[in-house]
Amino acid sequence: MSLSDYITLGRSGLRVSPICLGTMTFGTEWGWGSDVPTSNRILETYLEQGGNFIDTANMYTKGHSEKIIGDFFHDQPRKRDRAVIATKFLGGMFRGDPNGGGAHRKSMMTAVEHSLRRLQTDYIDLYWMHFWDPFTPIEETMRGLDDLVSSGKVRYIGFSDTPAWKCAQAQTIAHFRGWAPLIALQIEYSLIERTVEGELVPMALEMGLGITPWSPLKGGVLSGKYSRADAGKPPAAGSRGSWVYNVLTDRNVAIIDACAAVAKEAGATIAEVALAWLARKPGVQSIIIGARTLEQLEANCRSAKVALTEAHMRRLDEVSKPTLNFPYDFVTHFVVDTTQNGAKINGRPSNPWNLAPATDAELW
């Protein structure tokens, strides 16, 4: 697989690369990230390798991320229509202004104009609701997004970091009223963060949403920089601090160990293995990778060429198995046996239920 092995996103005809370039690292306004020349080199290299899917947000580096992307394509206008540019709204950009952020019409209509200005484009290919706004009725949000699609300022819409029930509600309303539907879902998903498999992933599969995971390396924990030897150590001065070391639990260290073993067998790195595993999970269509340096971009893109065996996938699945909310495990195990009662359906086996009649003579 390569960056130019494009896939249609969700239940749409929009073609995107299997690896999406995340640009939260574009700009240094947050005290870290890439300067403008480095950001431009990363963009250029990604496009040269066949990538076409670029993800940003109005709030990233105080708007500078969008501006860097806009300046890049302004100087190379022929490349704009070949790229799929996604950005997000919802984050409050004006301190103290109650309407400066949110998923309501006033905020949304203002946000899209500022994003179009910074991106220096007439349209946004994919417009994400960045996260759930519990104060705004979902009908207002979906009608506003439909208006943006109808106006031509937005081509497609998606949700990020929103509960499964709210996504399902929004999609159902959109279909019922003939509004533009959601085509994609952006969620945190990795070998370490798999709880999304309980509700969000099945919902996306059922509702026609292509999954675009963010933080696929769990903030660098699966980058290969950390090992069992780092667990329990106090953070070094100038490091990422206690956050990374708090994530180095017994379970997560075991996941890193398994990735290292698979990487050795597959001739890959730990990061490449983690990304290759995620690429094969149901519903995952384009993985969002962040790159602060050109080397990080090239290293992450190599994961597209890593081939994991079924044995590798099973090993990684087992070591990272999550604990999911009720009723997922109940339905997965107990209900399967009680309903299938020893039968195999759609390739899924079951065990006979010991409380069910074993023969017709036992039936009342």
pLDDT digits (tens, 9 = 90+) for 257-311: 999 999 999 999 999 999 999 999 999 999 999 988 898 888 888 888 899 999 9
pLDDT confidence of residue 136: 98
Which of the following is catalytic: 60, 127, 156, 245? 60
Look up 6 and say whether it is catalytic.
no
pLDDT confidence of 238, banded at 50, 70, 90? low
Cis peptide bond upstream of 327, omega within 30: yes
Between CA 291 and CA 302, with CA 296 as vertex, the angle to 5 degrees is 115
DSSP 8-state secondary structure symbol assigned to residue 49: T
| CA–CA gap between residue 312 and residue 264 (Å, rounded) | 11
Q: With cut-offs at 50, 70 and 90, classify the pLDDT of residue 246.
A: confident
Summarised one tens digit per residue, pLDDT across range 188-222 is 999 999 999 999 999 999 999 999 999 999 999 99
Task: Measure CA 221 to chain center.
Answer: 17
Which residue, 116, 64, 122, 62, is CA-closest to 92? Answer: 62
Which one-letter amino acid corresponds to residue 269?
T
Residue 183 scores a pLDDT above 90: yes
Averaged pLDDT, 86-97 = 94
The mean per-residue pLDDT over the stretch 92-106 comes to 94
Q: What is the pLDDT of residues 310-358, one digit of tens each?
A: 999 999 999 999 999 998 888 877 778 888 889 999 998 999 988 888 8
The confidence score (pLDDT) of residue 98 equals: 94
Q: Above 70 in pLDDT, residue 236?
A: no
Per-residue model confidence (pLDDT) at position 20: 97
Selection from 85, 29, 99 nearest residue 56 by Cα: 85
For residue 7, the SS3 value is strand
Query: Concatenated DSSP letters for 100-120?
Result: SSSSSHHHHHHHHHHHHHHHT
Predicted local confidence at residue 314, as pLDDT: 97
What mean pLDDT comes out for the span 104-121?
Answer: 98
Other C-beta atoms within 10 Å of 153: how many? 18
Give the pLDDT score at 233. Answer: 72
**Type of residue found at 186:** Q
Q: Which residue has the higher pLDDT, 246 or 135?
A: 135
Question: Of the ranges 74-78, 134-138, 260-264, which one carries the lowest mean pLDDT score?
Answer: 74-78
> What mean pLDDT, rounded, does the chain reach?
93
Q: Residue 239 above 60 pLDDT?
A: no
Mean pLDDT of 80-109: 96
Task: Provide the terminal-to-terminal Cα distance of the chain, rounded to the nearest Å.
Answer: 57
Across the range 25-42, mean pLDDT stands at: 95
Residues 6+ apart with CB under 8 A from 294: 38, 41, 42, 45
For residue 237, what pLDDT is reported?
57
- Residue 235 confidence (pLDDT): 63
Domains of the chain and CATH, by start: 7-317 (3.20.20.100), 328-362 (no CATH)
Q: Looking up tokens 């990272």, which residue turns up?
A: 320
Q: Which is more confidently placed, 293 or 114? A: 114
The pLDDT value recorded for residue 213 is: 98
Distances in Å between the alpha carbon of 267 and those of 213, 254, 264, 317?
Answer: 24, 20, 5, 19
How far out from the chain centre does Cα 15 lie?
A: 16
Helices (H), 120-221: 138-151, 164-177, 200-207
**CA 115 to CA 113: how far, in whole Å?**
5
Q: Residue 91 pLDDT > 80, yes or no?
A: yes
